[in-house]
Chains A and B, each alone.
Chain A
Amino acid sequence: MTEQNFWQFIVEQQDKLWTQVVQHLGLTFLSLFLAILVGVPLGIVIARVKKLSNPVLGIAGILQTIPSIALLGFMIPAFGIGTTPAIIALLIYALLPIIRNTFTGITEVDPSVREAAKALGMNNMQILFKIELPLATPVIVAGIRTAAVINVGVATLASFVAAGGLGEFIFGGISLNNTNMILAGALPAAILAVIIDQFIALLQRSGLKSLKIFKFIFPLIIIVAGYFYFSNTSSTAKLKAGFTPEFMGRKDGDIGLRSVYGMNVKPLIVNDAVMYKAAYDKELDLISGYSTDGRIKAYDLLVLDDDKRIFPPYFAAPIIKNKTLEKFPELENTLNILAGKFNDSLMTDLNYKADQLKQTPEKIAKDFLMANHLYKTSGKGNRGTIKIGSKIFGEQYILTEIYKLLIEGYTDYKVETKTGLGGTKICFDALMNDGIDFYIEYTGTGLQVLLHPTEKVIDEVTKSPEQTYRYVNSEFEKKYGIRWLKPLGFNNAYALMMRRTQAEELHIKSISDLSIFIKKE
C-alpha cells in the first residue's frame, strides 16, 4: 500500500477541509466579536473607576490561565456540547488582552490632552468618544490582534466538544497516526492566524487616526460569523451521536458501522475525555467508548450488542524495544509478572474506582498489588531509570502506576512516568525516539492505526484476539524492532453505548436494533 502524500490528502478531503476552515473562522470571529463587545466596555469602565481595575484584570487573568481543555470540561454541564461552550471558552480567552489593552490605551492618553478637552467644555461622553477612544485605538486594536491569534490557536480545541474546526483534523491525525491529517489541520490554522493578524493590522493602518476601523471590523465579523452560523446548523437527528476522532477513522469504528451495519449516524467529533459526561448529561445519545471504561458503570450506560462482530476484542500488553530489554535484563520478567492477572470485570472495576470513586491511580495500584500479594517496598533505584508512558485516559494511568510499583519493588531500577500523552501517535513516536521505554498498547490499535494492513489481512487476523496478537507481535518485531510482552489478560474493544434508560425506552439492545431505529426515521 503506497503512502498518500499531503496534496493527495488535501484534494481528497477538500470538502471537509473547507467546512472545517469555515467553522474555524466562524468560531474565531464570533467569539472575538463577543469579546470586543464585552471587553472594550469593561476596559472603559475600569479606566474610569480605577478601583475596579485590579479585580477585573485579576479575574480575567485567572480565567486566562485555566487550561483550555479543563475550561471546556467545566462548560459542558452548563452549556452542553457544540458551538456554545466552545464560543464561550474562546470568548474568555480573548477577554484579557482586549480589556487590558483598552484600559492601558485609555489610561495612557496624555492627561493634559484630557484636561484640555474638559476645559474646552466637552462632557464625559464627548471626551470618551472624541478624545480617549480615538487616541487609544492603536493599543486596543493591538489587543484585538493578540486575541484573534490566541483564538485561532485555541479554536483547534473546539473539536473536543463537537464544535468542529481544524482541530478535527489535528487531533484525528494524532489519534490515527496520520501526519498528513495533522498537517491538513495545523497548516491552515497557522495560515489563518497570520492572515487574520495582518488583515486587522492592514485595517488599522488604513484608518490610523479614527474610530472608522471599527465600522469595517464589525460588519465583517458579523458577516463571517453569520455565514458560519447558518452553514453550521446541523441536522437535528433524533439520536445525537458523538464519536472520537480515532473511532471515526478506524475500520473497526465508524467505517465498519457504515459498511457492515449500513448505518450513518451523522456523528459529531468529540474528545473521549468529555464524551461520557456528555452522554450522561443527555448532550449526546450515542457514543463510541471502550468496553472496560469505568464510566460505563458510573453513568449507567448500556453497551450495545455488537451482533455483526465489527468490534473484535483486543489484548492489552506493554510494548517495548528489544534494545531496551537488553539494556535492562530484569525488566522482561518483572513486567510479565502481571501477565494474565487481569480480566474484563477486574479492569472495569479498577476504572470505576478511579472514574466514580475518585481514588488516585497510586492508591488503586497499591491496593491492587496488595490484594494479589505482589506488593514489595521499593528497592535502591540505583541501576538506571525506566520511563513509562501512558495515554490520556484512566485505565492507562492505573496500569502505569501498577508497573511503577512493581518495577521499583522487584528491581533496583528507578521509574519515571510520563502520563497523559495525547494520543497513539504521540505515545508511539515517543517510544520510537526513546522518550519513553514502554507503554501499554492494544493489539487492535497496533493493527488498525500503526500497521495499516490490507483488508484481507485484517479479516484474517481478527478472527481471534490470539491471532491478532501473534500478527502484530511479529510485524512489530520486523518493522520496528519492538516486542509485545505477554498480554495482561483483559480484552479491550470499542463499543457503542447509550444511556440505559433511553435504550430501554426505544427498545434498542443491539447495534442492529439501532440501525433499524435510525433507518425508520
Chain B
Amino acid sequence: MIEFQSVTKTFNGKPAVDNISFTANEKEILVLLGKSGCGKTTTLKMANRLIESDSGMIKINGENIENQNPEKLRMNIGFVMQNSGLFPHYTIAQNIAVVPQLLKWEKKKTENKTLELLEKLHLPVDILKRYPSELSGGQQQRVGIARALIGNSPILLLDEPFGALDNITKADIHSEFKSLDELKNKTILLVTHDVQEAFELGHRICLLDQGKIVQVGTPTEILYRPVNEFAESFFDENRLLLEYKVATLQDIRSFLSSEINDRILLDNQVNIWSVLQKIISEYKDNEAYESVVSAFTEYRKLHIA
C-alpha cells in the first residue's frame, strides 16, 4: 500500500506537485495519467525518494519513507523506466542480477529466478550472455521488467514502461504484463500519458493536471462521471473506443436475448470491444453483432442518464 498525504514538490519556485493525496491499495494497479509536465513522474519518483518531497508525508505499507534508509527503501521497490535503463557494460544476466547482488543472494537462487522470469517474459535464454545494445527495444524493456521483478518486492513503480515501443510490440507486452502472476499481489503505480494503456492496465486511474489531482476512480467512473470539464474533455478523442473497452460482456448480458447469450461463448470479463472483434472475425455472426451493439447502447443509456 502506498499513501500520499498532502505531498508538495516545487522546482525553482513553481509547484510541480501541488498538495497531492491518494492511496494505492494492495493488489492494485493505480495509473497516474496526465499530459507531459502534469507532475506524474515527479509523483512517482517521490515514492522511492529519487526525488525528495518538500512537504507532506508518503507512507509505504504504513511506514513513513522519510524514516528509512533510501538505498534499503529502493532495494525493496521494483522500478521500470521508459528507456529500460539497463547498464550498457553489464550482460543481460548481470543486469538482472543487480538487485540480488545488492541483497547478497546465493548465485544458484539468482540463476533459477532469472531463468523463471525469462520464460514468463518470453525471452530466449541465449540473451543472458549478450549486452543490452544487442537486443531489440521490446526485449530490452522485458529485461527491464525482469530486473524489477526478481527481487520480488511488494511495490512496483513503472515510469512510462512501454512508451518507447511500437504499437504491435506494446500490445504484446500489455497482454503478457496482465497475465504475469508476479504482479497479482503487488501494489503498482504506473505512470503513462497513453489513455488506452491506462484503461487497459489500470484498476483505478488518477488523472493529474498541473500538479493537482483532477479525479481518482475506476475506468468506468472516470469515463462516465467526470468531475469537471477537464476530466470530460481529456477522453474526448478516444471516448467511443474507451467506452467499448470499459464495458464487459457481463455488463450487457442482461440486455441480450438468452438465445444470443448462448451463442457468445466468451468469458464475462472480456470487454465489448474484444467481443465485437471476435464476432466479426471469428463467428462471422451479423445478428449477434447487431444485438451486442444495441445491448451496449441500452447499457450506455443507463450510465449517461
Contacts and interface: CB of A to CB of B under 8 A. Distances in A.
A16 interface: no
A121 to B, nearest CB: 3
Contacts of B171: none
A279 B29 CA distance: 82
A110 B85 CA distance: 9
Contact of B50 (A115, A122, A131): A115
B74 A119 contact: yes
Interface in A212-244: none
Contacts of A122: 71, 98, 102
Nearest to B159: A119
Contact of B48 (A113, A119, A131, A209): A119
A117 B79 CA distance: 10
B90 to A, nearest CB: 9
Contacts of A123: 71
A117 B81 CA distance: 11
Interface string A111-154: 01101111111110010000100110000000000000000000
A116 B74 contact: no
Interface-centre pick from A112, A116, A210 (highest chain B CB count, 10 A): A116
Contact of A120 (B75, B83, B89): B75
Contact of B79 (A120, A126, A131, A209): A120
B85 A121 contact: no
Contact of B81 (A115, A121, A131, A210): A115
Interface in B75-101: 75-77, 79, 81-83, 85-89, 98-99
Contact of B87 (A119, A121, A131, A210): A131
Interface residues of A, number: 18
Interface residues of B, number: 23
A116 B143 CA distance: 13
A120 B102 contact: yes
Given A120-B74, A120-B79, A112 B85 contact: yes
B133 to A, nearest CB: 11
B9 interface: no
Given A120-B102, A120-B147, A121-B102, A115 B71 contact: no
A119 B50 contact: yes
B303 interface: no
A131 B71 CA distance: 16
B72 interface: yes
Contacts of B79: 116, 119-120
Contacts of A134: 89
Contacts of B87: 113, 116-117, 131
Given A121-B71, A121-B72, A123-B71, A116 B85 contact: yes
Given A113-B88, A135-B88, A135-B89, A118 B74 contact: yes
B74 A121 contact: yes
A115 B80 CA distance: 11
Interface string A172-193: 0000000000000000000000
Among B79, B81, B83, B87, find the residue whose CB has the most chain A CB atoms closer than 10 A: B87
Contacts of A117: 87, 98
Contacts of B50: 115, 118-119
A211 to B, nearest CB: 10
A115 B74 CA distance: 12
Interface in B136-158: 147, 157
Contacts of A131: 87
A134 B89 CA distance: 8
A113 B48 CA distance: 16
B99 A121 contact: yes
A132 to B, nearest CB: 11
A117 B75 CA distance: 10
Contacts of B77: 119
B139 to A, nearest CB: 17
A116 B102 contact: no
A119 B89 CA distance: 18
Nearest to A123: B71
B83 A112 contact: yes
Nearest to A135: B89
A375 to B, nearest CB: 70
Interface in B43-76: 48, 50, 71-76
Nearest to B153: A121
Contact of A116 (B71, B73, B86, B89): B86
A115 B85 contact: yes
Nearest to B132: A113
A209 B89 contact: yes
Nearest to A121: B75
Interface of B: 48, 50, 71-77, 79, 81-83, 85-89, 98-99, 102, 147, 157
6 contacts: A116-B87, A118-B50, A120-B75, A121-B72, A122-B102, A134-B89
Q: Which 6 A-B pairs have the closest CB atoms?
A: A116-B85, A121-B75, A119-B79, A121-B74, A209-B89, A123-B71
Interface of A: 110, 112-113, 115-123, 126, 131, 134-135, 209-210
Given A120-B79, A121-B71, 6 more contacts: A112-B83, A116-B85, A119-B79, A121-B73, A122-B98, A134-B89
